[in-house]
Amino acid sequence: MTRDRLSGRRPSPGKAGSPRERGLTARTVVVVIALAGLLVAACSDPPSSGPENGGDVVTTRLSVTTATDGLSDTTPTAASAVVVGLVGVEVEVSNAVAPFDHQSWVDSLLLEFSLARVRNQQVFDCLAGEGFTLPQAAPLPDRDDPVLWSNAMFPNIEVLARDGFPVLPGTPGSLDDSRERSEEEAAAARRCVAEVDGNDSEAIVAYDLYASVRGPWETVLDEIDATDEIMSLVGEFGACLRDEGIPAEFTASVSTYLGYVQSLKMAVEGELTQVAEINERMGKLYVGCGRELFEARERLRGGERREAFLREHEVAIRELSDLLYGGGSSP
């Protein structure tokens, strides 16, 4: 798989609840796939290759801003916050639980990935304690990594309008990615998952708090997308694409168009010059036809409805912020 293969397809909405019950929340879109198995969902067997391929586990301390009901409270840099893989990145918790534009979606992605990495590392530490060797963790993407620019729900429209879709380097897998696990290792993996997910560690408690807000926000996003205004703009987006010569069957939605772009790149079999031309032309067209749609989504997601949502979930947001960055104790 190459990191260029981002379709931006929108998955089914996540539901609130424990990661033990439902896996990772939604709208991390195809980026999860593009990052070559960055996360392991809470399931019976973690993949044999571990949560990442190659690299080192990096532990850093972050500052965090929590904003609710129109007010901003900035907590001090946490003396006890430990988040894996985010070097020099500030995460705003209110953005992470209720993303409305590209940058707030990146907050959500990085926080979710980080919490999952902490939990997954506990699983792999447990496996190591039973004598099994697993790969080290690779760093998370930088906030401005091009792999995050192109997706169906939270695109970086200004960069895409200027440059088109990015051409991303390939990420070949290692031989270890496809190795067979012994029955002993599989059994140990099940034991370790049960142990980690059953101990109510701070990572698990934090993830449950995160999901308890992020899940309901998925419902809000779906309701916004179902409004007459957004549905009309989706229709205008498709009409614009058809006017530019895009086959009608690929203009019904943002996701179908992105799938069409992917098919064009696959057809040239990785010839980089042609891929670059396709990316530039189709990425600029994406924003040229979709800017009104993308801007309307941001406006509706980031307005009074979001402020009301943050007020409604203020207690959970503050508990999550305190747990992660305000002393490290469970609420």
Say what the pLDDT of residue 10 is: 32
Nearest CA-CA partner of 157 in 295, 300, 259? 295
Q: Kindly state the DSSP code that residue 150 receives in the 8-state scheme.
A: -
Distance (Å, rounded) from C-alpha 188 to C-alpha 202?
23
User: By percentage, how much of the chain surpasses pLDDT 90?
Assistant: 44
Say what the pLDDT of residue 170 is: 58
Distance (Å, rounded) from C-alpha 293 to C-alpha 230?
7
Region label for 271, one of left (φ > 0), alpha (ψ between -120 and 50) or beta (otherwise)? beta
Residue 77 has pLDDT above 80, yes or no: no
Say what the pLDDT of residue 137 is: 65
* Contact criterion met (CB below 8 Å) for 75 and 87: no
- Tokens representing 200 are 């109510």
Q: Mean pLDDT over residues 34-51, rounded?
A: 31
Average predicted confidence (pLDDT) for the chain: 73
* Contact criterion met (CB below 8 Å) for 284 and 161: yes
The H-or-E segment that residue 67 falls in is strand 64-68
From the CA atom positions of the chain, what is the Rg in Å?
A: 20
Q: What is the pLDDT of residues 258-267, one digit of tens each?
A: 999 999 999 9
Distance (Å, rounded) from C-alpha 23 to C-alpha 300?
28
In order of 101, 159, 255, 263, 288, the CA distances from 238 in angstroms are 22, 21, 11, 18, 12
Q: What is the pLDDT of residues 189-240, one digit of tens each?
A: 999 999 888 887 777 888 899 999 999 999 999 999 999 999 999 999 999 9
Amino acid residing at 297: R
Beta-bridge mates of residue 68: 71
Report the range of poorest mean pLDDT among 200-209, 242-251, 285-294: 200-209
Distance (Å, rounded) from C-alpha 229 to C-alpha 221?
14
Residue 299 has pLDDT above 90, yes or no: yes
